[in-house]
Amino acid sequence: MRHGYAYHNLGLKLFGEVVYNMKEYKDAKLTSEGVEHTIEMGKSFKNVNFTKLYCSPSLRCIETMIHFINQNSNYYVRNKMVVLDDRLMEPQGKHLCNIRKDKLHLEKLIINIDKTFNLSNVAINYNPQYVETEQDIYNRVTSFMEDLREFNSDDDVILVVSHYGWLNRFFQINTGKGYEFINSEVKIIEM
């Protein structure tokens, strides 16, 4: 699933790509429209028994995960632990809006959310100035895919909330074809 419509997406529509490097759009949160659309999408999947939940540690992805999964009719799905994973981040170094909060601020943020999070795959020494190469991004996506295959069974129904660029690469590696993703869109793949 791609994250819901966030303030940097709105800023892009209003002012162009300059917003990607403006500090007020750093780690942008969802707009009210993004929240509403994510809730509606969650209602479409309310009976799906997700067995694992993985999420980028970006604020917009965390908010998307919460609003989406809170629509699920299954108590156990709604209360499952969400694994935050740096490997699900948008490619780093190009845009300020893709820089997440440091781990300490992230821990303070999620303490106020009525959900359990696993931050073991979130780096303490996160370097927002590092500019990733295409090979770095490929390695990150394939490392995550390998862990999905190794630590999950064929019966698992896994929800991954990430970003346009990451999802596009994930599908390209798995299917040989990239996809366009709109905000809050869910695509299904069998691995």
pLDDT digit string, tens, across residues 76-120 = 999 999 999 999 999 888 788 888 888 988 999 898 888 899 999
Count CB atoms within 10 A of the CB of residue 50: 18
Write down the residue that tokens 């948008």 correspond to: 90
pLDDT of the residue at 37: 97
C-alpha radius of gyration, the chain, whole number: 16
Domains in the chain and their CATH numbers? 7-175 (3.40.50.1240)
% residues pLDDT > 90 (the chain):
69
Question: Hey, what long-range contacts does 168-174 have (CB within 8 A, 24 or more apart)?
Answer: 169/137, 169/138, 169/141, 170/141, 170/144, 170/145, 173/138, 173/141, 173/142, 173/145, 174/145
Q: What number of CA atoms fall less than 13 Å from residue 124's CA on the CB side? A: 1
Give pTM, 2 decimals: 0.94
**Cβ within 8 Å of residue 139, ≥6 positions away:** none
Averaged pLDDT for residues 7-24: 89
